[in-house]
Structure 1
C-alpha cells in the first residue's frame, strides 16, 4: 500500500510543520523538500491500489489545511490537498477546505502557487471533477480582491487545449459580471461571446444583461448598448435563436473593432 504510506507521510509532515518555531523553520529550510512529489509518483508509476480516507482522516485534513494557510505554508497545503484527491474514491468536494486554500492563494502577489495547484490536479484524473469548482472559487476571489486580470488569466487557463475543465453557467456569470463591473469590459464581452457560443448556449439572466448594458453605457457606447438591449436574449426568453445569432455577430463586431 505505497499510496497509503505516502499519504500518511505527507500528513505527518504537514502536522509537524505547524509546530516548528520560526527559528526551526529558518534553520531547517530543507524540511519542505523532503515532502514527496505525489504527482510525479503517480504519473510515473500507476499504483495497483489507491489509498482510501476515513471520515476521521478527512476531518483531520480539513483542520490542517486552514492552519497551514494561516501559517503561510501554502506549498504544503497544496501537496496535502493533492494527496487527498489521489485517494479512491476521492473525498466529497464539499468535505475539503478548497475555499480556504483558494482564498489564501489569491492573496499571493502572483499566480505561481494557484497555477501549481491547478497543474497538480490536472495530472490526477480523480481530481478533474474538482477543477472547475476550484477555478470558480479562485476567479471569484480574485474579482472580490480587485484583481480581475488575474481572474481572467485563470479563465484562460481553463480554456487551454486538453483542459478537463467544463465551464458552467455560474462561472461564466461570475466572470462576465465581475469583469464588466471592474472596467475590463472588452474581456467581459469576450467571455460573454464564449458563453453564448458554447455547445449548449448558456443565456444570461436579466441581471447579467443589465450589467453588460450598463458597462457599455459607461464606455459611451450607447448605440451598442441599445442594440444589446434589443438582441441579447436572457434565460427567461425562449425561441430567440435569431436574436442569439445577431447578438453574437454584434459581439464579434464590437470585439474586433474595440479601441480604448
Structure 2
C-alpha cells in the first residue's frame, strides 16, 4: 500500500484531542472518516503528536496508507472536501517510503504557546491564546527558562496520569519573546524537544507565568525541577494557547 505523509492544521476547540476515542470527537476520527470516503480499506493513521483536548496545530504530521496511488495534490483536495465543515485542513501531502513513520521517524517536535497580555477581554482571539490581564516581566521568565534546558528528570512537569516509561527528557529550546501585535502584546514560548511528557509544555508555561508575575523567582523554578515532585509544579495553563507548530525529520518529506 503506498504511504503518504499529511501535514495537518486544526482548531482543537471542538475535539477531545488528536487520538481516536469512543465517546468524544477527535481529530484522528475526523481525518480517518475522510480517508475512508476515498478508500474504505484505509488502515488507521498515526501522528507525530497526540495533542490534548483543546490544543491546536498548524504543523501536525500523520501518515496514511492507501490502496492505490494518488497524486499528492489531488489527495489533499479530496481530503479537504470531505473534511468540511470540521476545522481540520490538510495543507500538504507527500509520498513517503513504506517504513517511514510520522511518530517514530520524527527527530524533533516544536510547540508554540501564545499568551496574550492585556486587560481588555479578547474577542477575536478567544480560544486561540491564553489571556493574562496583569503585567508580566520578560527577563525573569527567560532566566527561569534557561534552568529547564538540557537533559533532566521532569517528574515535576508531567501530568500524574502520564504513561511515559521514563520522566527523563532532553529539552532543546525554551525561548520566550514578547511580540507587539495589533491585538496587544503577546508572549510566545518556543519549546523544542525530540519528545515531550504529558502536559509538559503547559506545566512549563504555567510555572513561568508565575515568574513573570513576580510570585516566583527564577531560582524557584530550578528548585521545582530538582524536587522531582509533581506537587512542586506551578499551575498548569489552559490548552487553548498551545499549538503543535512543526515536526522535524531527517529529511523533510514536504520540501
What TM-score bracket applies, with the shorter chain setting the length? under 0.3
Normalized per residue, the structure richer in helix is: 1
Relative to the length of structure 1, the TM-score reads 0.27
Greater relative contact order: 1 or 2 (C-alpha under 8 angstroms, separation 6 or more)?
Answer: 2
Relative to the length of structure 2, the TM-score reads 0.28
